Structure 1
């Protein structure tokens, strides 16, 4: 179907094939349940789950082992090794609860509502964080649901109904993950770009040596083995020969395997720099970056390209595209093209479509391993510090927040432009409401309040054209604020003139009780909603402006700002610009040529 129709085309895939005879999982399940120990492989990682340390309650332990084994199978809720390990830890926590409370529970058939709710209450009394408690309750209740489905009829009707919900005690809203400051983000980008430049230099300087010495011949043979197989193990005879020859020749062998493979493949440490740059430049989630495919770049045009990525959390809409800049290595598109080039050899050896294939621990792999220690080494080597002056704690999941915070400030907080890759509600709650953006929000609120105050207290300014319209129009169409249009001729004739303006309510001042005279200084008219500024008052305003400017020479900056700062701002930026240059020149002439006609208070005459 054409792309113009608005219907997205399905992602091209490969023909799937299945074995004709699938092994029966029954015998494997029976062995695992009987031993309470079994191996699992999830998302490319393998581990062993061990429930043999559960004390007593053999029948109940068998039911939980069967439920845990089922959770770790294809289609089960444990999609990763980490989730499966968390389920096993929840079982051990449940056993500690049973032992601590002296529960006589021995089998699944004896499970009742009191035991389940008691586990919830026991964790709450022990001071466990509400969210951690809710997580453990969800694991145990989930396993009980699988156990109930695997052994139907064992649980009572009341206990089965209790498994419909996790807990009656809700968790608490989690503290939002904050973004890094601009200073830290700039330092991270600079360090990552330095690493990318080093990787480029490393791949360019792949050794091509002539066979002059024994070490040269051994290195040539070792690199030939790497090119043929993809890697060379430290236990291979050829590598051990090279190692011994270098050691005998006085050469350092520290990191020899990584140095050799680093001229052909990416290393785990290289992924840290690539992930940091991609996340800070594009805002992609780290899990999406890890799962990028070698054909992720789509539709290049006019210096831009689309990145196709998978966001597993977006149920039923996992595959998404993000349009980014494309060009040199300083752009996201150019950086991905370099990564595609660098990983081509490793992908060919592994026959993998994953983009980030690399050499680690003596072999090639396309599964991104945990990077905690690698991140710490990377931060230490680059000497990066946080805002507190201590060594930076790099959390990759904060990089997306950092990109979003910068984009939020760039868009001025416009959520419609800010929400890229998620809904406006998610953008507001998860990416805009973070501590790093609190100063921006507070400044916006303060600015809005100042604007509101200025609008509320700003006097009415009438140019000669507006005065003519107000005198000729009916009271309802004068354009004056409500309350001023009752006696327009008197207001504009000069009968109600005060110091710097015409006053529509000298005895109804916003600064005093109704019926009392206005108590503010004469320049308070510039802050009063009753004030009306016309060309007739411009000479007085000009004279007062000269007086205010002269006061700067005899007053401290703080005192002058406190007394005359706002009045000067009103005159200079809000009142005078509304009149024509001819009106202003006339007012200046009157102010200079007829000073006795301009009323100023005694303090102005003493200047």
Structure 2
């Protein structure tokens, strides 16, 4: 190539091509000793070789190698080392099961639907938690052209069938949580988020431990700086420690402090290493705090990069990994706030820059550079390296290479974290007693998703940050006791507001229409009505039902209190009118109307129901039925009609 830069191409001038032909490496490599290896190089920078020749049933090897290479290749769906390893594990289990059959299929063409069904039955009996996933991965592998053309169509049709849904335990009641250990021993793993008290205590503990780690390393750096500037200004003890710190900063090796046992595993040596370097025991609080502040899962926190950009000293911009989004869709650019000086433990950007500071020395002393943030000192003998010191990137080769054990960190603190007592715990808890708090990245992620959703007022499009709306609701919000209790509280407040608004609407309507309906409890005969103040000319008609409307009586239909003219409002408007008269005889029909309104409430949106029926319902419930005794209401309930004729007072197009 001789032409470079802008302007080197154009119409009639094609792009310069490299000299020579490019021959990519074969995805399946055949060794001289008969081995058949699939070379994997993932988008996460990790690589591995999968030896297909070690599987049983040699007649499958060539076809399986081609199919697995396509599944893990650049256009495949398994583009990370963990995903490829999981797919390989399912393939190994399938082949070993087929080999264990009395008459195994020696070639792909001999595979039958009965073999696949037997594999699923075997996995469901031995490992029900992963049986469905194994069959799903087999279906994706057999759907590839490299393998599909070698098996019978009946097998493909069987694999394409809908898989049976896994059995799940019944959901917990709202506001409760599984807190009792299973009878066989051990504790039940929780997946719901934390309560407000648990989350507050957890965040306080994480910040306290992170501050202790920060202050410890900064104190060591300050002592090293003072020793290198003027060692004579230090006392004997500080001068001795400063000399060892200078040796550690140059070589990366931690000496055995004076007076300690000459043993690489001496605790004094680990304590000295922590004065300049992060250690493995520092990872849980720092990683958990990063997950809480950034509201990301543990996988993303483990793969935080060191490449970043500072935006005017106010934010940090970096590219993070969000797995399980599909091929070529799991990189995302985020911008994290840095915050004010001294507040680095409260903002994601500030904590990220602090972690870069705390891991800087180990990254410089490490033999080969790593693009990942996390780099710590560890005892090489404990890692089986036959050396005393090792500066490693614990998640460079695998996300599962270094266990974090968050629950062990929470339980082994000087002040252990305890869970809130729950109603219905198996054993009574005395003062100061409680179950250990189960800490995990998933629970922290769920808790932060719940809190963000609450801050957004429950608006899921605004609350969906790192997941889609269906994933946010299904995997984080649905069934969580905190969000359930909050939703019930919000719904209860909304219902109270709607009911109060309906009562105010009824009171305003009644004020301009003669003061509202007249309710006459007690006897409803003509004499009793006259004694209650009803005009003699109307008392007899009311007693005989001659003035009845839909659910009440109207003493002056020709003169509406508001207009002075003949009434033209709906029968539901009678409950705000001064001409409305209600006696004990109207109770059965009123109770039937209340039931009809309740049924209509289940059929219409809440906003529409309150707008159409709210004021009438409030008048009946609060101003009319409360005037009668419980005995009168009970007697009327026994004579309540089944049809409240509610449809007769509405326009046909308004009926749901």
Q: How many residues align?
A: 479
Compute the TM-score of the two structures, normalised by the length of structure 1. Answer: 0.63
Matched, 1:466 2:507: no
How far 1:198 sits from its partner (Å)? 1.0
Structure 2 partner of 1:311: 322
By how many angstroms is 1:423 displaced? 3.9
- What residue in structure 2 maps to residue 438 of structure 1? 484
Q: 1:158 aligns with which of 153, 167, 188?
A: 153
* Compared CA separation, residues 508 and 458, structure 1 to 2 (3 A): farther
Query: How many angstroms apart in 2 are the aligned matches of 1:510 and 1:300?
Result: 74
Stretches of structure 1 that go unaligned for 5 or more consecutive residues are 1-17, 233-238, 497-501, 516-524, 534-540, 545-607
**1:473 CA displacement:** 3.2
TM-score by length of 2: 0.59
**5 Å matches for 1:288-303?**
288-296=300-308, 298-300=310-312
The separation in 1 between residues aligned to 2:267 and 2:459, in whole angstroms, is 50
Residue aligned with 2:31, SS: helix
Alignment partners' CA distance in 1, 2:500 and 2:587: 17
User: Conserved in 2, the CA contact under 8 Å of 1:459 and 1:527?
Assistant: no
Kindly tell me: are residues 353 and 97 of structure 1, through their superposed partners in 2, closer, same or farther at Cα, counting changes over 3 Å?
Answer: closer
- Corresponding position of 2:344: 329
Q: What's the offset of the Cα at 1:20?
A: 9.1
In the alignment, structure 2 segments of 5+ residues that lack a partner are 1-17, 172-190, 380-388, 422-433, 516-559, 594-615, 628-656
Compute the displacement of 1:33 (Å): 8.8
1:320 aligned residue (314, 317, 333): 333
What is the alpha-carbon distance in structure 1 between the residues aligned to residue 142 and residue 404 of structure 2?
Answer: 36
Q: Deviations over 1:463-522 (max 9, x none)?
A: 8973489734377999x8744459x9xx53xxx6xxxxx74566433676789xxxxxxx
Bigger Cα displacement from structure 2, 269-278 vs 166-175: 166-175
Asked if 2 retains the 8 angstrom alpha-carbon contact of 1:292 and 1:354, the reply is: yes
Per the alignment, do residues 528 and 291 of structure 1 end up closer, same or farther by CA in structure 2, a change over 3 Å counting?
same
Give 1:106 deviation, angstroms: 1.1
Structure 1 equivalent of residue 437 of structure 2: 392
How far, CA to CA, are the matches of 2:394 and 2:21 in structure 1? Answer: 29
Correspondences of 1:217-256 after superposition (within 5 Å): 223-229=245-251, 231-232=252-253, 242-243=255-256, 246-247=259-260, 254-256=266-268
Q: Deviations over 1:513-569 (max 9, x none)?
A: 789xxxxxxxxx997529879xxxxxxx9xx9xxxxxxxxxxxxxxxxxxxxxxxxx
Distance in 2 between residues matched to 1:366 and 1:108, nearest whole Å: 42
Residue pair 1:458, 1:529 contacting (<8 A) in 2 also = no
Distance in 2 between the 1:457 and 1:510 partners? 23
Distance 1:459 1:24 in 2: 77
Select 1:365's aligned residue among 376, 392, 396.
392
Alpha-carbon offset, residue 28 of structure 1: 7.7
Give yes or no for the alignment of 1:140 onto 2:138. Answer: yes
Q: Deviations over 1:23-64 (max 9, x none)?
A: 97559821399347889776466777567775x533235654
Q: Hey, what does 1:168 align to over in structure 2?
A: 162
SS at match of 2:135: helix
- The 1:322/1:197 distance shift into structure 2, 3 A limit, reads same
- For residues 253 and 114 of structure 1, do their structure 2 counterparts lie closer, same or farther at Cα, with a shift above 3 Å needed? closer
SS state at 2:561 partner: helix
Q: Check conservation: 1:195, 1:273, Cα contact below 8 A.
A: yes
Structure 1 residue 396: Cα displacement: 0.8
RMSD of aligned residue pairs (Cα, Å): 4.9
Q: 1:380 to 1:50 in 2, by over 3 A?
A: farther
Q: Tell me the equivalent position of 1:188.
A: 202
Aligned to 1:268: 280
- Select the residue among 201, 205, 225 that pairs with 2:215: 201
- Kept in 2, the 8 Å contact 1:196–1:274? The answer is yes
